[in-house]
Structure 1
Amino acid sequence: MSDSPEPIRLNKRMAELGLCSRREADDWIAQGWVKINGRVAEMGVKVGPADHIEVDRKAQTHQQQQVTILLHKPIGYVSGQAEDGHEPAVVLINPRTHWREDPSRMRFSPPHLRGLAPAGRLDIDSVGLLVLTQDGRVARQLIGEASGMEKEYLVRVSYGEVAQNPQATFPREQLQRLRHGLSLDGQPLKPALVDWQNPEQLRFVLTEGKKRQIRRMCELVGLKVVGLKRIRIGRVVLGHLPVGQWRYLGPQERF
């Protein structure tokens, strides 16, 4: 019996190697930009660890032209497709809303909107850093199955009848439950960093992103979220980017 791994589809292997996303790989294969052991690859072919994958420079040039955009999402916009009459956040990406102090010094071009998709979600009633990208590698890094990317939030809360200074009455053991010990949808949550920033605001650092996770976590310990703002993803911070404006991820920046 052989110990060698089973062959896998070429697009999956290319994604595992960090070359591109699976969808991108399929596009490149269709264009004839990928070779296996010196021969042009066909769609659906499988490869093993010993197979040599070669990517044409045209694909690399195409990839270098892809953009990633950082938006300070306001309340009232959905992250992805339009729903229930609410507009998607991508409608805010236009020359008028491009932050004048964008350090990348890149200029907006209409092709930058082609295939631009959110890498993760931010609820309609939340504000802060939302990433939209054309680059499958960035999407995989932020929301791929193996992603453990840190995401940091500032969360204003109230506790019971107490609207002011909930920190004074919120039990410390419940704060510990927020850090570790809660479950959602029948699954235990990963440990989180949770601390008071001021008497009315908590700071959360999560490494997972279940739907409305922070609001649901807070409900389980008797807290009500009255405001939620994402201020960091990995090493990229929201900084001074104004609400409703956007900037490019610079060539030297990394999540």
Structure 2
Amino acid sequence: MAWTRTYDEAEPQRINRWLAQSGVCSRREADALIAQGLVAIDGETVLDAGRKIQTGQTLSLSDSAQAKIESGFTVVLHKPTGVVSAQPEGKQIPAVRLLTRSALVGESPTIPDRDTRLAPVGRLDQDSRGLLILSDDGVVAKAVIGPNSELDKEYVVKVSGAITEGKLAKLHHGLSLDGRQLKPAKVWVSGEQTIRFVLTEGRNRQIRRMCDLVDLGVLDLFRVRIGPLRLGNLPQGKWRVLTAQEKAALIAASVSAA
């Protein structure tokens, strides 16, 4: 058996929810594994999608279940400015083109080529830089940008114009875009002409448009974090493979935030 863990919480819990909270897979994916007979409790195959696990019971996934979970491919890229996240137009350079062997940090089971289909999980516009996730893994995509996900994203933004308490208050809460009020954001000054934003939504060019509404010009927009995943010291233009632990953390954080 590939994944085995004993349940130690006081109250019984549905298997799919516990697997999601543990960062193993999404609830929907857990239901599919159960339907295929790939999940067992105390050695007995589970066939009921609504089954709850009790304190002291041990849940196991088969090797083939583990293989299905790990079949997706996800990378972390430090996207430079001038590169588009997704489908390019004209002479634009798509982010996936940067995923070369020479730009790889660490090891990867594969090196993407022109036929590789990796979609941006949370876009970053052409004029912005920083953390970008590219993936063909639906579980990762749902955790980060799914309809029920509220993972926060953190940005360091260099601006022009006077930064006042009134403007910061409006950026925190009080602005609307496209006729809809924005959710509250965490906003604070973190350096000379520098503001940090933590958002739980991702409207099109949201920070740039927010700043424009309070007469601040964006000079540099740098995404440093998505949920528990941080860009860290990954050099600009370089990429690495998302680790199993990081994937688990994204899934678990998404479940906790929802």
- Range into which the TM-score falls when normalised by the shorter chain: 0.7 to 0.9
Q: CA deviation at 1:63?
A: 2.7
Aligned residue number for residue 107 of structure 1: 108
Match 1:88 to one of 79, 88, 94: 94
Unaligned stretches of 5+ residues in structure 1: 1-13, 36-46, 160-165
Aligned residue number for residue 176 of structure 1: 169
Aligned residue number for residue 80 of structure 2: 74
Q: What is the aligned-residue RMSD (CA, Å)?
A: 3.5
Aligned residue number for residue 139 of structure 1: 141
Q: CA deviation at 1:76?
A: 1.0
* Structure 1 residues 220 and 96, CA gap change in structure 2 (3 angstroms): same
Q: CA deviation at 1:110?
A: 3.7
Distance between the aligned counterparts of 2:176 and 2:150, measured in 1? 18
Residue 209 (str. 1) matches residue 202 (str. 2): yes
Deviates more, 1:83-92 or 1:220-229: 83-92
3-state DSSP of counterpart to 1:145:
coil
Do the aligned partners of 1:155 and 1:202 also contact (CA within 8 Å) in 2?
A: yes
Match 1:149 to one of 132, 148, 151: 151
Residue 189 (str. 1) matches residue 182 (str. 2): yes
* Structure 1 residues 56 and 108, CA gap change in structure 2 (3 angstroms): closer
Do the aligned partners of 2:108 and 2:241 also contact (CA within 8 Å) in 1?
A: no
Distance between the aligned counterparts of 1:246 and 1:142, measured in 2? 19
Distance between the aligned counterparts of 2:167 and 2:182, measured in 1? 15
Letter of the 2:130 partner, please give it. G
Distance between the aligned counterparts of 1:171 and 1:111, measured in 2? 46
Deviation readout 1:175-223 (Å, 9 max, x if unpaired): 1000001011111111101111112110000010000000000000010
Aligned residue number for residue 98 of structure 1: 104
* Structure 1 residues 67 and 21, CA gap change in structure 2 (3 angstroms): farther
Letter of the 1:96 partner, please give it. S
Unaligned stretches of 5+ residues in structure 2: 1-15, 38-47, 52-60, 251-258
* Structure 1 residues 60 and 115, CA gap change in structure 2 (3 angstroms): farther
Q: What is the percentage of aligned positions where both structures have the same residue?
A: 46
Distance between the aligned counterparts of 2:101 and 2:192, measured in 1? 39
Distance between the aligned counterparts of 2:92 and 2:62, measured in 1? 41
Do the aligned partners of 1:21 and 1:136 also contact (CA within 8 Å) in 2?
A: no
3-state DSSP of counterpart to 1:222:
coil
Do the aligned partners of 2:100 and 2:112 also contact (CA within 8 Å) in 1?
A: no
Do the aligned partners of 1:94 and 1:108 also contact (CA within 8 Å) in 2?
A: no
3-state DSSP of counterpart to 2:220:
strand
Normalised by the length of structure 2, the TM-score is 0.72
